[in-house]
Copies of this chain bind each other. A is one copy, B any other.
Amino acid sequence: MKHHDRDSTSIPLPSLKRLPRYLNVLEEFLEEGVETISANDIASKLDLKPIQIRKDMAFTGIAGKPKVGYRTAELVSKLKEYLGWNKTTDAILVGAGSLGTALLGYQGFEKRGLNILAAFDSDPLKKGELRYGVPVKPIEELHGFIRGNRIRLAIIAVPGRNAQEVADKLVDAGIKGIWNFSPAEIQVPSGIVVKREDLSEGLAVLFVRLQEHRENGRR
Q: Assess the B84–A208 pair: CB atoms within 8 A.
A: yes
Q: Which residue of B lies closest to A159 (CB)?
A: B107
Asked whether A21 and B206 contact (CB < 8 A) given A84-B211, A99-B102, A199-B106, the answer is no
Q: Assess the B193–A47 pair: CB atoms within 8 A.
A: no
Of the candidates B3, B183, B195, B212, which one forms a contact with A47 in the assembled complex, judged by CB atoms under 8 Å apart? B3
Q: Assess the B114–A106 pair: CB atoms within 8 A.
A: no
Q: List residues of chain B with CB within 8 A of the CB of A105.
A: 98-99
Q: List residues of chain B with CB within 8 A of the CB of A152.
A: 210
Q: Does A198 contact B (CB under 8 A)?
A: yes
Of the listed stretches A9-17, A32-40, A66-74, A119-127, chain B binds A9-17
Of the candidates B98, B101, B199, B204, which one forms a contact with A16 in the assembled complex, judged by CB atoms under 8 Å apart? B204
Q: Does A138 contact B (CB under 8 A)?
A: no
Asked whether A24 and B185 contact (CB < 8 A) given A16-B204, A82-B208, A106-B199, the answer is yes
Q: List residues of chain B with CB within 8 A of the CB of A16.
A: 204-205, 208
Interface size on A, residues (CB 8 A): 64
Of the candidates B3, B184, B212, which one forms a contact with A7 in the assembled complex, judged by CB atoms under 8 Å apart? B212
A188-219 interface (Cβ within 8 A of B): 191, 193, 195, 197-214, 216
Please list 21 pairs of residues, one from A and one from B, whose beta carbons are closer than 8 Å in the complex, sorted by A's number: A3-B47, A7-B216, A10-B212, A16-B205, A20-B200, A20-B204, A21-B201, A23-B200, A24-B183, A24-B184, A46-B185, A82-B208, A83-B207, A98-B106, A102-B102, A106-B199, A112-B203, A176-B210, A177-B210, A193-B210, A193-B213
